[in-house]
Amino acid sequence: MSQEDFDLLKRFIKGENSAFEALFKTYYEPVCRYVIRVIKDQDTTEEIVQATFVNLWEKRELIREDISFRSYLFRAAYNTALNYLKHKKVVATYVNKKQERINEIQSSFVSHQPDFELQKRIKDALEELPPQCQRVFRMSREEGLKYHEIADELGISKKTVEVHMGKALKLLRNSLKDYLTLFILLLNLM
């Protein structure tokens, strides 16, 4: 390591912003080129490299002055990339297991009761609702809008939306008590 690099690292460890900027400008692109080989996505690569720099800045007092900063930085970025990939794999596994569970629930229900019958009961129950209550329910469950979004769109208060949803859910619970467990699961999956 040259004396200039050694002095730059010492200034970085002491917390000098100019040293951080100099190291960032020097190493950002090379580290991105290195990490993209692991990640294969430009945006994610840039996020990982930026996070690595931020992490090093936050823990700069722990960095030894006698190390090769370049090697240390590349290793830190590589480890961050590997951690990202591990996390991504865990999330994918979770999503797959959740989808398998949803499929199990749906096939279990289908084997016990034809789907069209439940759909007809839901439709009939919803048609018993007053028009505004029906609209609020559909906006929430079918369009996925939050209560405050429904309130804004319909020009009513959030509390009124809550009252309409309470009425709709109460009526649906009473009309569909035979299907209540499955219906609750389906609503949560929507």
> Topology of domain 3-92, per CATH?
Rna Polymerase Sigma Factor; Chain: A (1.10.1740)
Instruction: Break the chain into its structural domains and give their ranges.
Output: 3-92, 113-189
Tell me the percentage of the chain whose pLDDT exceeds 70.
85
- In contact, 189 and 142? CB cutoff 8 Å: no
pLDDT digits (tens, 9 = 90+) for 26-78: 999 999 999 999 999 999 999 999 999 999 999 988 888 888 888 899 999 99
Tell whether pTM > 0.75.
Answer: no
In this structure, CATH architecture of domain 113-189: Orthogonal Bundle (1.10)
- Look at residues 129, 100, 113, 127 and name the one whose alpha carbon lies nearest to residue 182: 113
Dihedral angle computed from the Cα positions of residues 44, 55, 14 and 65, in that order, rounded to the nearest 10 degrees: -90
